[in-house]
A and B are shown apart, each in its own frame.
Chain A
C-alpha cells in the first residue's frame, strides 16, 4: 500500500525566514497531494493542495512543488509569521476512494 514519509519532524525558524517541509510517497499511482495545518486540539485544516498533472502551485506565502519522477513533494512557506506555528501534515491520495495516507507530521515553530 501507499506509504508517505515526511521530514523534518521538527523545524524551528526565525520570523520572516522561509520554511521547507519535504515528503516522499511510494505509490506512483497517487494523484493528489494536500497539505494540512493542525493547531493544538483542532482538526487538520487544508492549506494547499496539488494534483499530479501540475508541478507547482502557489497561494500567497505558501507554495507546493511536486516531482513525480522522484515521487516527492514539498511545502514552502515564505516570510514566516508567529501564527504559522503549528503541526503540518502532508498526504497522498490514490484511486477512486480518495482516501488519504498521511505523513508523520512536522512541528513548525516560528521564533519572534
Chain B
C-alpha cells in the first residue's frame, strides 16, 4: 500500500493561466475525492468519483474547474483562467465504497500570483 499520491506538490502560476493536478489513489480504492483547503480552515469537499463516474460536485466547483477520472484509476483536476482566490491546498483522498476510512494524499499547494 503506497498511499494516495499527488503531483505536483507545489505549483506557482500567474493569474489567468490554466493548471492541472494529478491524483493517484490507493490501487484497490474505487472512490476518489477532491477537497480544497485554504489557510487556517478545514478541507472542503469539491467532488467525488466512483470508478470513472463523477457522482457529486460541490457548489464550490465553479465552471472554471473540471475533474476527470477517465479509466477509474488516477484523476486530474484542472483549473482554467486561475484567479488569486484559487490559491489553496488541493487534497485528494480515496476509499472503497462501503468502507468509510478515507486516507488523504499530501496535497498540491497552488499559489496564484
Q: Which residues does A use to contact B, with CB under 8 Å?
A: 4, 6, 31-32, 34, 36, 41-46, 49, 51, 89, 91, 93, 97-105
Contact = CB atoms under 8 A, between A and B. Distances in A.
Interface residues of B, number: 27
B104 A51 contact: no
Contacts of B40: 105
Contacts of A100: 33, 35, 43, 45, 93, 102
B47 to A, nearest CB: 9
B103 interface: yes
Nearest to A49: B101
Contacts of A51: 100
Contact of A42 (B97, B102, B107): B107
A32 B91 CA distance: 20
A99 B91 contact: no
Interface of B: 4, 6, 31, 33, 35, 40-45, 48, 55-56, 91, 93, 95, 97, 100-107, 109
A11 to B, nearest CB: 15
B107 A34 contact: no
Contacts of A91: 42
A97 B41 contact: no
Contacts of B97: 98
B42 A105 contact: yes
28 contacts: A4-B42, A6-B42, A32-B100, A34-B100, A34-B102, A36-B104, A43-B4, A43-B6, A43-B105, A43-B106, A43-B107, A44-B43, A44-B91, A46-B102, A46-B104, A51-B100, A91-B42, A97-B48, A97-B56, A98-B102, A99-B33, A99-B45, A99-B56, A100-B33, A100-B43, A103-B42, A104-B41, A105-B41
